[in-house]
Amino acid sequence: MQVITSRENEQIKQIKKLKDKKYRDEMGLYVVEGIKTVNEAIAEGADIQVIVICDDSNEQNELKQKMLYSVAKFDIIYVNESVFESISHVMHPQGILAVIKKKEKQAEINYKDNVIMILENIQDPGNLGTIIRTVDSCGLSQIIVSKDTTDAFSPKVVRSTMSGIFRVNVIESDDLVETINDIKEHGYKVISTTLESSKSIYDFSYEKTAIIIGNEANGITKRVIASSDAKAKIPMKGRTESLNAAVAAGIVLYEAMRQLG
């Protein structure tokens, strides 16, 4: 077994580039890290290009016990601790990561989903990851994001999805208004969530409905609101003026799921 000990190794340099969205987009690859997440990638049939294992990690015994057989069929490279730390995305790495090929670009919206979640300019990776995780928990197959939304394949987002990234198709829209108009042509009503509404999310039925969640600070743009069919707010009895974007998405999605059974 050969162990890579140089950070200048060409394969290592290519993996390190995946910390940058530009190269994730160019190469069509992203990184997942940790024993649990790599196991989930394997279980979900993700297109794993290579698995990197830290040969002198403190977690090595645990790795051997939990993953010896599951990783054997993949291309594996072993590195020393210094090299692994140079490509890791976390403060305390577990000594294993996988480089995964993104699914072939699936720009086509699945109109079999009763509910479609649309995000405009969500910037916090934790919010985006949590929303993807919530969409997955509702049994939905996709999420539509504006092109200025934070990258769904960044390490922080991937970790926050808790493996939902392997199951939810992330569709990036170049023009959200055009995408919304296409969705409406397929018989969906489109609801913008905003405090500037006299109607509550509980005043609507959610059969064939697209729900829009906006930017954490500024909400949904006027242009996008104008393209929707209706506006709805989440009623709040306390003195809080607004809710976290991921919390808001969860409340609306679960109201939709409650109605749809």
146 lies in the same domain as 199: yes
Q: What is the mean pLDDT of residues 220-224?
A: 97
Question: Which backbone phi and psi does 244 adopt, to 5 degrees?
Answer: -55, 140
133 lies in the same domain as 207: yes
Dist. CA 167–CA 119, nearest whole Å: 18
Domain membership flag for residue 108 = no
Q: Which residue did the predictor score with more confidence, 68 or 216?
A: 216
Count of Cβ atoms closer than 10 Å to residue 69 Cβ = 7
44 lies in the same domain as 164: no
Domain that holds residue 16: 3-101
84 lies in the same domain as 165: no
When divided into structural domains, the chain yields a total of 2
The yes-or-no verdict on residue 207 having pLDDT over 90 is: yes
Of 185, 180, 171, 174, give the one whose Cα is nearest residue 223: 180
Q: What is the mean pLDDT of residues 167-171?
A: 96
Q: Quick one: pLDDT band at residue 55, thresholds 50, 70, 90?
A: confident
Q: Would you give the DSSP letter of residue 1?
A: -
Residue 15: which CATH number? 3.30.1330.30
Q: How many Cα atoms occupy the beta-carbon half-sphere of 149 within 13 Å?
A: 33
pLDDT of residue 63: 67
The yes-or-no verdict on residue 61 having pLDDT over 80 is: no
Domain membership flag for residue 85 = yes
For the chain, percent helix, then strand, then coil, each to nearest 5?
35, 20, 40
User: Last residue of a domain, which of 37, 69, 101?
Assistant: 101
Of 64, 188, 25, 49, give the one whose Cα is nearest residue 117: 188
Helix, strand, or coil here: 126?
helix
127 lies in the same domain as 60: no
Query: Which class for 163: exposed (0-12), middle (13-18), buried (19 or more C-beta within 10 A)?
Result: buried
Dist. CA 6–CA 25, nearest whole Å: 26
Dist. CA 9–CA 239, nearest whole Å: 56
Q: What is the mean pLDDT of residues 244-253?
A: 97
Residue 209: which CATH number? 3.40.1280.10
| CB neighbour burial string for 133-162, b if at least 16 within 10 angstroms, e if fewer | bbbbebebebbbbbeebbbbbbbbbbbbbb
Mean pLDDT rounded to a whole number for the chain: 93
171-187: per-residue pLDDT in tens?
Answer: 999 999 999 999 999 99
Cβ 187 vs Cβ 203: under 8 Å: no
The yes-or-no verdict on residue 60 having pLDDT over 90 is: no
